[in-house]
Amino acid sequence: MKACAEDKLLHALLRFVPISKNQPLGPGDDCAAIKCGKPGTLILLKTDCIAEDIHFLRSHDPAKVGWKALCRPLSDIAAMGGSPAEALITFFSPPDIDPSYWKKFYRGLGRAARQFGVTIAGGEMSRQKSGIAVSVMLTGHIDAKHLLTRSGGEPGDLLFVTGQLGGSIAGHHLNFTPRLKEGQWLAKNIHPSAMMDISDGLGSDLPRLARASGCGFEVHRESIPRRKGADVHGALSDGEDYELLVSIPPKKASLLQKKWNAAFPETRLTQIGALTPPQPAPPDWPGGWDHFKEPPKTNRRRQRKGSQS
């Protein structure tokens, strides 16, 4: 399977910097994981950003934009099975933005922080010529034995997704709830072979998980759970779902379904396919969002402006 342009750029850039060989998990997964002073515990590190006209529009409620800014990296902590801790917030403000915008933004960010147990440790602010941008650095922690990555899948493992996919532009991309409880529960009770969050669309993120695990994949497209109004293509390509993609050995599948329904009766869990021995992606596989590949100039692109991850 070919890597998308964003992944290729990351691979090229990492050649220029030193990368620790002594840590459990470095660049390339949802979070980095490093050792700390407490035996058996790992610190999770994640940085994420949102940019005007890519992830949100100036017309969007600043409180909802603040919520999204923190919940995006929280979704990555969830994908590792971890618990969040401290955040650093850096924002870049153009001269035509009134300070009241940032007060509203921080109300939304603060609501997310209180709901999910995050404290703000600091940050930075700067003016720039145009466009709003925000960067969030988030820490978390997890027992080393529960750490989940993208790379543990095996051929024959079954693929599941939480929730529903597609149609995020209708509002989901500003109002989603990161699957922290679900991720922690999976890590402790099932320990999937691999897991990641779906932020760039299943079309991009499933090939990433499969490639990291040294596998191919097959998907029953009609089984993909879709939000109201979304078609299969949208469920694969729209992005900003912030759901979990999980691979499970077949022997654990029935136990997962039984326990899941009792633990999360309001959160859907759907089997969509399986990992396979290495093979190319299907020839008509549409892919998802790619920051460094120019999307086609279609109505879909115009509808998605401001909603991509």
Supply the pLDDT for residue 10: 61
Asked whether 93 and 127 are in contact (CB, 8 A), the reply is yes
Query: What's the CATH superfamily of 31-146?
Result: PurM-like, N-terminal domain (3.30.1330.10)
3 — phi, psi (to 5°)?
A: -75, 150
CATH topology of domain 158-290: Phosphoribosyl-aminoimidazole Synthetase; Chain A, domain 2 (3.90.650)
The Cα 189–Cα 85 span in angstroms is 22
pLDDT band at residue 11 using 50, 70 and 90 as cut-offs:
low
**pLDDT exceeds 50 at position 304:** no
Q: Residue 151's closest CA among 194, 183, 184?
A: 194
In the chain, CATH 3.90.650.10 sits at 158-290
**What digits encode the pLDDT tens for the residues 186-210?**
999 999 999 999 999 999 999 999 9
pLDDT band at residue 284 using 50, 70 and 90 as cut-offs:
confident
Mean pLDDT over 230-253 rounds to 96
The Cα 245–Cα 208 span in angstroms is 11
**What digits encode the pLDDT tens for the residues 162-189?**
999 999 999 999 999 999 999 999 999 9
> Token digits for 83?
């618990």
Q: Residue 273's closest CA among 187, 215, 229?
A: 215
pLDDT band at residue 21 using 50, 70 and 90 as cut-offs:
low
Place of tokens 């035996």: 39
Asked whether 158 and 217 are in contact (CB, 8 A), the reply is no
Place of tokens 């147990």: 117
**pLDDT exceeds 60 at position 291:** no
In the chain, CATH 3.30.1330.10 sits at 31-146
Higher pLDDT, 288 or 248: 248
Question: Strands 83-93, 269-276: parallel, antiparallel or unpaired by DSSP?
Answer: unpaired
Supply the pLDDT for residue 302: 33
Supply the pLDDT for residue 28: 64
Q: Which residues pair with 245 in a beta bridge?
A: 161, 196
The Cα 273–Cα 149 span in angstroms is 19
Q: What is the mean pLDDT of the chain?
A: 89
**What digits encode the pLDDT tens for the residues 108-144?**
999 999 999 999 999 999 999 999 999 999 999 999 9
pTM for the full predicted model:
0.87
What Cα–Cα distance (Å) separates residue 4 from each residue in 48, 72, 198, 279, 294?
19, 21, 15, 16, 12
**pLDDT exceeds 90 at position 24:** no
272 — phi, psi (to 5°)?
A: -120, -10
Q: Residue 36's closest CA among 90, 88, 89, 82?
A: 82
pLDDT band at residue 307 using 50, 70 and 90 as cut-offs:
very low
Asked whether 164 and 269 are in contact (CB, 8 A), the reply is no
Count of all residues that appear for the chain in the document: 309
**pLDDT exceeds 50 at position 34:** yes
